[in-house]
Structure 1
């Protein structure tokens, strides 16, 4: 089990108090604006109304913020928490299921239970670790592929709306990669506002106020197998495990059990309001844990707290973001979401085919997941992992 340790760089001189605070604000802004469109797209795909999707975004923002503050303050490490962006992409690829939105919320609660069990029952974590990483990443890559094609198809469906978004992303991918996706969303927002202004349309003020819509959960076989299990695997393999590795690269050993208990509880609190999964941050974790948060590693925990506070502030604008998504012209928001997922798609593909011995099972997993087929009410993600494991057993049985 991973234990918490505190590390410092031993550097002399008085630390700059503003740097960790600013690093936390940047972490939240980049993480939030780069992927909230993916979250809203995923929730809408599995049956959430615009109001329920906005509620889910608000619930995730608040629970993420509180989890960041609690973990960073208690451990004195810059532990940042995020929503599961790959999990949201999985939802977008899954679509509606039997039982509707209530069954989806029930699946979210099951994911929360599984994350909590991972913290208190080491055997469950060991079972997850036995899933070949190449297959888990291949499943994720297959899920992401249709979403990553949205900028391409969007340029054909709505060139005047999507082209400014893609060009903005391309320019800043060269000049300021960290801000490429947030600025692409800013371009999309300008497109939406310009369209509303041209039409003389207005938005009721009540639609922009934050609100919570609670849903009584139900559980079905399809929601368990088609959403809960794949969402849990993707969240663990693509968020929690890499998140621990990123923190270790900066000299921090994340306390595994407290981290799983806090994120599992956060997921349970967010689920009835429409939040899908809360987990350790992976890519954005480097912004708060790295040198940008100051030279003294023992003070970078302040960046984690600052990230949490910033998420709470951003949560107040959840309905505004959701309204922009609803009012956006065709193909504009899917293009933003696709651009936001390109890096994750590239990483997943690389990890899936990196080991030649695992390449064929990974390719089969990828193709089944990318097909989007649904059988017996169960989504393609489950069948992809099943097919990949079957091919792997056949090819590897009897071999060293």
Structure 2
């Protein structure tokens, strides 16, 4: 018995033979599906990366409850609120500590090119612990010295070789025209609002940004005692504090950021639209290929139909071809997408990673897309009269 007979004891499926008979047509169909798979999987990866990227700072914060201005939109733009509200919140017995954050985008000078580029600056009191990050906690004591700063290692390369120079000591530069000594580094990551991040002490923040009111905080963090219910404490604060602040739990704060970038900016729409286009293009290509296949074999199918084969047999045959095309298009499409993810990480600094759950969704969409196209392609055959064909 030959190897083929051992592997396929019932013979090579007719669906496969039909597809590979016209190799150019087969590869054209597979190429179309590869395009659709790559587009869908890449867009899903971008969306996942986007929602991961925009909350990099939030995930590093140490607060259980967050206070912001009622007109707060996203992390990076805020009108601020009076720090008196944090002091009032500190009076609750469930509150362990509070920490105000001061946020601004200001130019920092590239130490090599001397070109100024805007960087996102987070100011805080080094006596507090607003970040749940060992690297920041270990170095934040140095921020008590005016002019000192910590630089985000994952910032864009346009800020210069600051990280490399830190290996030989501190790096001297200027932030908003004021002398700045970068004494250490940490890892946070870029967002859509920031190509880089800089941490400074409260005193340094108001030295490099003298126009800001020192009594206004952009974000207020509230750390609760162990065992406290964040939802209940947040409700208590909403009832006790004036309406000149907005109270959110940590989860609500993160969801607010994702919702802003997903719904109130064109990014979410563009990604969804791209996926829709990919599905339509892939479906049209598969439909054209399968419809042509049905037309080319119409006389053979009519012969089978005339001797008793039912429409369900032909539908099953075309659906088998659809599944074969789905698999042959998905595998190289997924591999190509993994390569695009790597390029995106290197060039755009986005956390694009291949995720199997996204791959499963795209595989399912691909199979459904191909099967729908195949079902439509059989309409001519199902409504054909064998006598008319001959």
| TM-score (structure 1 length as normaliser) | 0.25
TM-score (norm 2): 0.25
Q: Looking at both structures, which has the greater relative contact order when contacts are Cα pairs under 8 Å and sequence separation is at least 6?
A: 1
Counting strand residues as a fraction of each chain, which structure ranks higher?
Answer: 2
Structure with greater Cα Rg: 2
